[in-house]
Amino acid sequence: MAKKNKSALSEKKGVSISETTNPNSIKSYKENRKTEIASEILIEGILKRDITILARAITLIESKNPTHAHQAKTIIEACLPHAHNSVRIGITGVPGVGKSTFIEALGKHLTDLGKRVAVLAIDPSSSITKGSILGDKTRMEQLAKNNNAFIRPSASGESLGGVARTTRETTILCEAAGFDVILIETVGVGQSETAVHSMVDFFLLLKLPGAGDELQGMKRGIIEMADAIAINKADGDNLKPAKLAQTEFKRALHLYPEKDSQWQPQVLLCSAINGTGIDDIWKMILDFVKATTKNGYFNKKRNKQSEYWLIQTIESQLKSRFFEQPKIKKELDKQLKRIAENKTTAFAAADYLLSLE
Amino acid sequence: MAKKNKSALSEKKGVSISETTNPNSIKSYKENRKTEIASEILIEGILKRDITILARAITLIESKNPTHAHQAKTIIEACLPHAHNSVRIGITGVPGVGKSTFIEALGKHLTDLGKRVAVLAIDPSSSITKGSILGDKTRMEQLAKNNNAFIRPSASGESLGGVARTTRETTILCEAAGFDVILIETVGVGQSETAVHSMVDFFLLLKLPGAGDELQGMKRGIIEMADAIAINKADGDNLKPAKLAQTEFKRALHLYPEKDSQWQPQVLLCSAINGTGIDDIWKMILDFVKATTKNGYFNKKRNKQSEYWLIQTIESQLKSRFFEQPKIKKELDKQLKRIAENKTTAFAAADYLLSLE
A2 — contact with chain B (CB < 8 Å)?
no
The alpha-carbon gap from A349 to the nearest alpha carbon of chain B, in Å, equals 7
Instruction: Please say whether the dihedral angle defined by the alpha carbons of residues B14, B20, B22 and B23, taken in this order, is positive or negative.
Output: positive
Bigger pLDDT: A81 vs A31: A81
In angstroms, the CA A70 to CA B139 distance is: 63
What is the mean predicted confidence (pLDDT) over A45-66? 94
* pLDDT per position as a tens digit, A263-300: 999 999 999 999 999 999 999 999 999 999 999 999 99
CB contact under 8 A, A345 and B76: yes
Most confident of A90-104, A111-125, B141-155, B326-340: B326-340
Q: Under CATH, which architecture does the A83-303 domain have?
A: 3-Layer(aba) Sandwich (3.40)
Question: How far is residue A237 CA from its own chain's centroid?
Answer: 34
Using DSSP, state whether A37 is helix, strand or coil: coil
Quick one: average pLDDT of B19-23?
40
How high is the pLDDT of residue B4? 41
Closest CB from B216, B340, B350 relative to A255: B216
What confidence tier does B96 reach under pLDDT thresholds 50, 70, 90? confident
For residue A251, what is the enclosing H or E element?
helix A239-254
Residue A128, pLDDT score? 39
Angle (nearest 5°) at CA A285 between A279 and A287: 105
Asked whether the predicted pLDDT for residue B26 surpasses 90, the reply is no
Characterize the bridge pairing of strands B181-186 and B117-122: parallel
Contacts of A312 (CB under 8 A, 6+ apart): A161
Q: Evaluate whether A38 touches A22 at the Cβ level (below 8 Å).
A: yes
Question: Which residues of chain B have a CB within 8 Å of the CB of A255?
Answer: 215-216
Which of the residues A347, A351, A352, A354 would you substitute to probe the B interface, choosing the one with the greatest number of B C-beta atoms within 10 Å?
A347
Q: What is the pLDDT of residue A142?
A: 85
In the predicted model, is pLDDT for residue B201 greater than 90? Answer: yes
Query: Which percentage of chain A shows pLDDT scores above 70?
Result: 81
Question: Higher confidence at residue B31 or residue A161?
Answer: A161
Residue B218's pLDDT is: 53
Computed over every residue of chain B, the mean pLDDT equals: 83
pLDDT value at residue B6: 39
**Cα–Cα distance between B155 and B167 in angstroms, integer?**
9
Q: Report pLDDT for A275.
A: 94
| CA angle in degrees (0–180, nearest 5) for B292-B294-B296 | 65
A223-258 residue pLDDT tens: 888 999 999 999 999 999 999 889 988 887 887 778
- Contact between A220 and B220 using a beta-carbon 8 Å cutoff: yes
pLDDT for residue B76 is more than 70: yes
Residue B226 φ then ψ, to 5° = -70, 135
pLDDT, position B291:
97
ipTM strictly over 0.90?
no
Q: Indicate the residue type of B23.
A: P
B226-259 per-position pLDDT tens digit: 999 999 999 999 999 999 889 988 887 887 778 8
* CB burial string B119-158: b at 16+ within 10 A, e below: bbbbbbbbeeeeebbbeeeebbeebbebebbbbbbbbbeb
pLDDT of res. A216: 43
List chain B residues with CB under 8 Å of A314.
322, 350, 353-354
What number of C-beta contacts closer than 8 Å exist between A and B?
A: 125
| Helix %, strand %, coil % of chain A (to 5) | 55, 10, 30
Q: Tell me which chain B residues have a C-beta less than 8 angstroms from the C-beta of A344.
A: 77, 80
Residue B64 has pLDDT above 50, yes or no: yes
Q: Say whether B310 and A350 touch across the interface (CB within 8 A).
A: yes
Contact between residue A145 and residue A151 where contact means Cβ atoms under 8 Å apart:
no
Q: Can you tell me the distance from the alpha carbon of B297 to that of A322, in angstroms, rounded to the nearest whole number? A: 30
The per-residue pLDDT for B246 is: 92
Distance (Å, whole) CA A180 – CA A83: 10
Structural domain boundaries in chain B: 2-81, 83-304, 306-356
Tell me the CATH number for domain B83-304: 3.40.50.300
User: pTM for the whole thing?
Assistant: 0.74
Asked if residues A204 and A226 have their Cβ atoms less than 8 Å apart, the reply is yes
